[in-house]
Structure formats: structure tokens, C-alpha cells
Amino acid sequence: MAFEKIIAQLPYEHPFLFVDEIIDVNEKGIQGSCTYSNDHEFYKGHFKNNPVTPGVILTETMAQIGLVSFGIYLLSASGDALDEIQIALTSSEMDFFQPVFPDEKVVVKSEKEYFRFNKLKCKVEMFNLNGELVCRGKIAGMIAPKST
């Protein structure tokens, strides 16, 4: 499946799409990137005069790349038709180590722990362009083709 097709299948759009590109994907994992534009609304209040990307946005980015994009790839590889998908985040556990500032690009790496009965669980890591670990954790969700 072409990387652009994976992104086109995502059920998000601007301003809530946090996947700029898929760098690599295979049956074991996925890598993708996102740059947080300084014009995002969340920077106006987080924090006053010192904008920092909220942890919930970092977690969402890891979910969009490391879980949903990866799930789309895995479902497609299994032969499922993907006109639309259903998604439910079931758990996340994150540790944060570095701040992410406006206009900063990050890379997400996700490694599959398991994918069965449409439940996907992955180990995820986010790095800045200096190669520093921004955050890491585990994320799981239910991803399935939408039944008609």
C-alpha cells in the first residue's frame, strides 16, 4: 500500500491531522513524521508567552501514526477492503522526556506487540530531529473495517 494512500484513509483532517508523511511501514512497524505549525490554536494558551506542544497532542500524534496508520496498513495487507474504518482507542501509557516547540518536526516509531481480533497494541517512541527521545509508551486500540 502506498504511503499516501494510508494517509488518505485516515479519518482526520486539518486541523486535527498530525501525520505529514509515512517514512516506512512493514508488518512489524511503522515510522512517520509530523511538524507542528506555530499557527495551531493550542499554542495560544499552552503556555502563556512560552508555547509548548501539549502532551495530549503528542499522544494523539503517536496514535495517528503508530496505531491508526499502522492499523490501516495491516488491515489492507490482510485483504480487507477499507472504504472506511472504525477506531476506538482502548489504552495509552506515556512517559515524556523533552518539550516540543512550535514548528518542530518529530518522528514517530511504532513496533507491533500484537494484532489480533482487530485489537492492535504497539510500543511507540517519538524523537526530535536531534535524535532525542521526546516520549515513549504503549498504545492500543480497536481498528476494523466499517461494516455496512
Q: How many Å separate Cα 27 from the centre of its chain?
A: 16
- Report the pLDDT value the prediction gives residue 146, as an integer from 0 to 100: 76
Q: Is 3-145 CATH 3.90.1150.10? A: no
* Whether residue 82 has pLDDT greater than 60: yes
Residues 89-108 pLDDT 10s: 999 999 999 999 999 999 99
Domain regions of the chain by residue span: 3-145
How far apart, in whole angstroms, are the C-alpha atoms of residue 89 and residue 41?
24
- Report the pLDDT value the prediction gives residue 38, as an integer from 0 to 100: 95
Write down the pTM of the prediction: 0.94
- Report the pLDDT value the prediction gives residue 81, as an integer from 0 to 100: 62
* Whether residue 131 has pLDDT greater than 80: yes
Residue 116, classed as helix, strand or coil, is strand
Share of the chain above pLDDT 90, in %: 82
Confidence tier at 80 by pLDDT (50, 70, 90): low
- Report the pLDDT value the prediction gives residue 148, as an integer from 0 to 100: 53
End-to-end CA distance of the chain: 23
How far apart, in whole angstroms, are the C-alpha atoms of residue 95 and residue 68?
20
